[in-house]
Chains A and B, each alone.
Chain A
């Protein structure tokens, strides 16, 4: 069998695809969160960061297409594996349902996955495409003028005085709606829960987990998910608490 056939056709191959695409997506959500936490700094930071990403041009599309492929493979493998799993139980289910030690997170992966997928669609419509809350979408807000250079690894990539999209105000406006903010908080909460199983499960699938460090791995997974959730809670939480305000309002009160 050629290696592509092995990955896509065998049970373990599909599991490895789940694990690898899951690892890629974990890497993405961490980077995405770290980038977005710049909202707690001067508006120059997140607006300069957004401008920098857009300046990447073709590279940005390579990343976007790569992520889309990862998401599609992750969902495809999950669907195929789940359908096989259902058939494997046979025609008659157990009359007495019992779980010995499978965690709640592991038993709700499909449900949390659905919520995360719905969230991704909304999130893209909200902050990337402007289909939701279009009145405060970055393209419809006044441009932001960079006060200082935005530097990546010491290299100034966005010069002071550049007119850029006001992502800072778009996010602040967006989360001023409690319904939107709460939906984000619930969705990233369930994503964190999804990752609680995914994070240490991928080590098992790739064959790197043994009992000698399984406890440490689990602790790392729990710590990672708590930190990830806390970081994601901070952004809509700060807007709801009035700590982060849209720029026009902030300027007026200053």
Chain B
């Protein structure tokens, strides 16, 4: 996809989803974007187009962006049908115009999912992910000073695997890429990165049950094991974590159903 050291300027037709606000009808609008440096980023190209639109007195294209270095997960849009556009393991802000050829028609759409309603143009409301996180994607721990290093032993392979899951930036590309708009890769990453380390064990069952149940309630789809999510993930988080989530959820459900509970009604110091 990436042309080697190309410096020749290129022009593309940008086909962008324009939608004035939530629940309003939207449509694709074509814009000519000319004489672009192949080394400018996709977002810089949108900046240029927006400058031109503003100069003409038109409404600029609304798109979400923040760090522009692939670590925040804010810049989320679907470019030619793939979340975050061409390339592997990159966010939209890390896509460069050299990924396209002169004369290409480039279609840009917001992430499409019922749980991610469009706010305006390319911006979607991804707070559904926050709700899943709030359901259990944390450790209820003393928030005091930093604990002693190595006070809690963590095997290196577990730490490595936990870190793989923890690279999730919560951008929502997995949902956008999934044929069923399922959030399983996101939930799997969040459940696994805490479930793999000792600090996460106490709330492990409660966490997986609550996060999956919240995911279901928010109207995400179901996993059909097609692995589009992990292919679109800017952090290349493996769908192995989904298998791990399935197993975790199954075990937690059985334990929640059959584990004895305290029947004590009194006693003690009172």
Residues on A lying within 8 angstroms of B by beta carbon are: 1-3, 6, 10-16, 81, 84-85, 87-103, 106-107, 109, 197, 200-201, 203-211
Contact = CB atoms under 8 A, between A and B. Distances in A.
A15 B223 contact: yes
Contacts of B256: 1
Contacts of A209: 240, 243
B222 A90 contact: no
Contacts, number: 148
Interface bin, chain B: 35 or more
Contact of A1 (B26, B180, B239, B253): B253
A181 to B, nearest CB: 33
A206 B256 CA distance: 18
Given A10-B213, A100-B228, A89 B239 contact: no
Contacts of B70: none
A92 B112 contact: yes
Nearest to A105: B226
A90 B220 CA distance: 10
Contact of A96 (B78, B182, B220, B238): B78
A90 B23 CA distance: 11
A90 B216 contact: no
A171 B216 CA distance: 48
Contacts of A211: 238, 240
Interface in B228-251: 228, 231-232, 238-240, 242-250
B80 interface: yes
Interface string B242-270: 11111111100110111000000000000
Interface of B: 15, 17, 26, 28, 78, 80-82, 107, 109, 112-118, 177, 179-182, 212-213, 215-216, 219-228, 231-232, 238-240, 242-250, 253-254, 256-258
Given A11-B215, A95-B17, A95-B28, A102 B80 contact: no
A97 to B, nearest CB: 6
Nearest to B26: A92
B246 A107 contact: no
25 contacts: A3-B253, A6-B253, A6-B257, A10-B213, A11-B223, A81-B224, A85-B182, A87-B219, A88-B115, A88-B180, A90-B112, A90-B113, A92-B118, A93-B112, A95-B17, A96-B78, A96-B80, A99-B179, A100-B177, A101-B228, A106-B224, A197-B225, A207-B246, A207-B250, A211-B240
Contacts of A107: 179, 226
Given A6-B257, A209-B243, A90 B225 contact: no
